[in-house]
């Protein structure tokens, strides 16, 4: 009797666990089905072509892929040092009674709807950097800052005190302690925080589209307008009337999905490689 | 007792089915959404019929209409022959109101600006790059034009406004017609994209030297200056409710029977050249008699009593002789 109960329990939880990857598969299958007309017409050329002309119905994804990757990289370049620095101050350095308020305020940034960031961006970043790749990157940086800093703060905090105390007991300075006894064991956690931030940056739509200038062009200057995958889908989907046009947009969605999957996969590899077995998280 | 309950349930069922039958569902263009929602609430008060309208965009409206998920569609661009074939049966285009697309700009100190077709095309093609360009200066004697760079602002999302604007540009400039063409979304030769009318308005407002096209109501409510455009008769005309109605009147002679008319660059000395209709899309043969009648009644009301609400919301009502013609088409709907 007990054994059958266990078996049932096993089966039911297994089905629950299975349903999530199944959902993902279903999602991908639907996307591929919808994108099939565009895949058939443009083939691999879709990824390397820079022409996006809904009137002549020639579609290429390269400027969007470029815009997505570069704007996210700019965001990381700004948000990682800032976020980690803030987290370090809050978790390790500060002895102030008020640091909890500071932490709450940083986390509050995550609760602001992206359209508000976009509006702010139009009126503040627009005149400053123009409607450009840089403005898009800066907006994204601000948006992923709370993710990176909140998670890495938790990671820093969960480093066992004994590690820090040992370092201090060995005569390490404050910085050496942080370097050896905090950054060391927390490496994978920090990487995790950065990846979560990157995930949000890659997929963010509304705020970016309001400040990036929405121009599908690859330009060497980050002061020139650009365009991202998520933005063009959101912008053009509602009015895309022809089948080829619609399926080209869905194919952009598949590319975005692939990029996020590849980025996550690479990051996971990086964690395994750099951290190895000594990792405590 | 049981009988009573049964009767009550059947009664409730009847009420809900009749209520359902009198709900009309429509979807489509965002541009006429303010006037449609005004009509819907006024018509509900007057006739009791519930109309649901979802402003999902013209392209979406056409798709839903073809798929048969809505009782009527709505679009700022007429359906193509191929789309009408896919919808099955005969499709009617019912023009409801008109709107103008204003060319707005941000140049402190310049209150009046005149442009003609060629200059406008060259600006949006990116050929004219500075405000003090000779072509602009020639049209605006006495205006102190700065040497600022021109920033072209356009829509980044697919839109009926873009369709009207680019139809005009393709008519007046062969370079535009071959390089860019007309459509709801384009491959833009110059400038930056803003999302929605509010996005383009935002770009114009915060960037000195910007120029862009927006619906007239956005230019008016944001108090942005608008360009006086040279029309076909050679007169410089600013966009307004009156000059849009004049354009429709100017195009009336050449109005096709199915009303799928492009009234950009219309004749007539007072016509503003960038204006257009917005249409409701309905099947000529209505399958459901009750719904069909409700739909026809709603259309009749919109084209008569409904027209008086247009101007307050900055749309132009249809000229009266056109209203009569459209009414005949509505009467031809069978149910």
Mean pLDDT calculated for residue range A196-211: 91
CB contact under 8 A, A236 and B182: no
- Position B255 scores a pLDDT of 84
State the nearest Cα–Cα gap between A72 and chain B, in angstroms: 20
Nearest CB to A238; choose among B157, B187, B207: B157
Ordered structural domains, chain B, with CATH: 2-98+277-331 (3.40.190.10), 101-253 (3.40.190.10)
- Position A2 scores a pLDDT of 64
Q: When comparing pLDDT for A189 and B8, which is higher?
A: A189
Nearest CB to B202; choose among A53, A122, A239: A122
**Tokens representing A6?**
């266990």
CB B60 within 8 A of CB B74: no
Residue A188 near chain B (CB below 8 Å): no
Q: Which fold has domain A62-277?
A: MetI-like fold (1.10.3720)
Nearest CB to B63; choose among A213, A225, A241: A241
Predicted confidence band of residue A277 (pLDDT cuts 50, 70, 90): very low
Q: To probe the interface with A, which of B54, B58, B156, B188 has the most A CB atoms within 10 Å?
A: B156
What is the H or E stretch that residue B118 is in? Answer: helix B117-124
Per-residue pLDDT for A253 more than 90? yes
- Position B299 scores a pLDDT of 95
CB contact under 8 A, B207 and A56: no
Binding-face residues of A in 41-70 toward B, CB within 8 A: 51-56
CA nearest B77: which of A237, A241, A52, A245? A241
Per-residue pLDDT for A210 more than 80? yes
CB contact under 8 A, B206 and A56: no
Q: When comparing pLDDT for A276 and A244, which is higher?
A: A244
Nearest CB to A131; choose among B157, B158, B203: B203
Phi/psi of residue B100, each to 5°?
Answer: -110, 150
Predicted confidence band of residue A225 (pLDDT cuts 50, 70, 90): very high
- Position A237 scores a pLDDT of 86
- The alpha carbon dihedral of B302, B303, B309, B314 has a sign of positive
Helix (H, G, I), strand (E, B) or coil at B228: strand
pLDDT digits (tens, 9 = 90+) for A103-117: 888 888 888 888 899
Q: When comparing pLDDT for A235 and B2, which is higher?
A: A235
**Tokens representing B166?**
């680019």
Per-residue pLDDT tens listing for chain B (335 residues): 555 655 555 555 544 444 444 889 999 888 888 899 999 999 999 888 999 999 888 888 888 999 999 999 999 888 888 889 988 889 999 999 999 999 999 999 899 999 999 999 999 999 999 999 999 999 999 899 999 999 999 999 888 889 999 999 999 999 999 999 998 889 999 999 998 888 899 899 989 999 999 999 889 888 999 999 999 999 999 999 999 988 988 888 788 888 998 889 988 889 999 999 999 999 999 988 889 999 999 999 999 999 999 999 889 999 888 899 999 999 999 88
CB B117 within 8 A of CB B139: no
Per-residue pLDDT for A281 more than 50? no
- Position B57 scores a pLDDT of 80
Q: Contacts of residue B191 in chain A, CB cutoff 8 Å? A: 215
Please give the residue of chain B at the shortest CA–CA distance from A226: B192
CB atoms within 10 A of CB B273: 26
CB contact under 8 A, A241 and B184: yes
Nearest CB to A235; choose among B56, B63, B157: B157
Q: Contacts of residue B167 in chain A, CB cutoff 8 Å? A: none
CB contact under 8 A, B206 and A213: no
């Amino acid at each position: 009797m007990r054994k059958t109960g266990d078996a049932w329990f096993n089966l039911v939880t297994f089905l629950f666990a299975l349903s999530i990857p199944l959902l993902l598969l279903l999602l991908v299958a639907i996307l591929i089905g919808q994108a099939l007309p565009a895949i058939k017409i443009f083939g691999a050329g879709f990824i390397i072509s820079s022409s996006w002309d809904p009137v002549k119905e020639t579609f290429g994804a390269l400027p969007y892929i470029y815009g997505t990757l570069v704007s996210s990289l700019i965001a990381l370049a700004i948000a990682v040092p800032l976020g980690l620095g803030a987290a370090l101050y809050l978790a390790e350095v500060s002895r102030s009674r008020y640091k909890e308020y500071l932490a709450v305020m940083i986390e509050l940034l995550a609760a602001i709807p992206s359209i508000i960031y976009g509006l702010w961006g139009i009126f503040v970043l627009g005149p400053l950097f123009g409607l450009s790749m840089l403005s898009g990157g800066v907006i994204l940086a601000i948006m992923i800052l709370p993710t990176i800093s909140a998670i890495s703060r938790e990671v820093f905090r969960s480093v066992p005190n004994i590690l820090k105390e040992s370092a201090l007991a060995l005569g390490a300075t404050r910085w050496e302690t942080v370097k050896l006894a905090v950054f060391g064991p927390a490496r994978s956690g920090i990487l995790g925080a950065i990846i979560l931030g990157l995930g949000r940056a890659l997929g963010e739509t509304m705020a970016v589209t309001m400040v990036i200038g929405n121009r599908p062009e690859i330009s060497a200057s980050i002061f020139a307008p650009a365009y991202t995958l998520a933005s063009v889908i959101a912008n053009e989907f509602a009015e895309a009337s022809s089948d080829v046009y619609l399926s080209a947009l869905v194919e952009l969605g598949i590319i975005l999905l692939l990029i996020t999957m590849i980025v996550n996969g690479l990051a996971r590899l990086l964690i395994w490689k750099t951290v190895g077995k000594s990792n405590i998280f | 007792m049981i009988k009573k309950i049964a009767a009550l349930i059947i009664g409730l069922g009847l009420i809900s089915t009749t209520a359902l039958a009198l709900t009309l569902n429509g979807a489509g263009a965002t541009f006429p959404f303010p006037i449609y929602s005004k009509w819907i609430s006024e018509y509900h008060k007057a006739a009791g019929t519930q109309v649901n309208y979802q402003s999902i965009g013209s392209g979406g409206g056409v798709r839903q209409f073809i798929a048969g998920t809505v009782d009527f569609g709505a679009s700022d661009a007429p359906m193509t022959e191929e789309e009408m074939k896919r919808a099955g049966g005969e499709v009617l285009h019912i023009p409801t109101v008109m709107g103008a697309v204003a060319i707005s700009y941000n140049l402190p100190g310049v209150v009046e600006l005149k442009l003609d077709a060629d200059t406008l095309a060259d600006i949006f093609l990116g050929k004219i790059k500075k405000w003090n360009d000779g072509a602009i200066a020639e049209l605006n004697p006495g205006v102190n034009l700065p040497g600022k760079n021109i920033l072209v602002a356009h829509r980044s999302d697919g839109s009926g406004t873009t369709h009207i604007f680019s139809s005009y540009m393709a008519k007046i400039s062969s370079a535009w017609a071959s390089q860019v063409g007309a459509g709801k979304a384009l491959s833009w030769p110059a400038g930056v994209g803003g999302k929605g009318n509010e996005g383009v308005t935002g770009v114009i407002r915060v960037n000195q030297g910007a120029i862009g096209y927006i619906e007239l109501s956005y230019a008016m409510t944001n108090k942005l200056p608008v360009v006086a455009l040279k029309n076909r008769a050679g007169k410089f005309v600013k966009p307004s409710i009156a000059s849009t109605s004049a354009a429709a009147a100017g195009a009336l002679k050449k109005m096709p029977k199915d009303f799928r008319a492009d009234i950009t660059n219309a004749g007539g000395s007072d016509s503003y050249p960038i204006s257009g209709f917005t249409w409701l899309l309905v099947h000529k043969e209505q399958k459901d008699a009750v719904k069909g009648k409700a739909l026809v009644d709603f259309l009749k009301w919109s084209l008569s009593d409904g027209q008086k609400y247009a101007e307050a919301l900055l749309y132009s009502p249809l000229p009266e002789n056109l209203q009569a013609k459209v009414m005949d088409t509505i009467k031809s709907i069978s149910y």
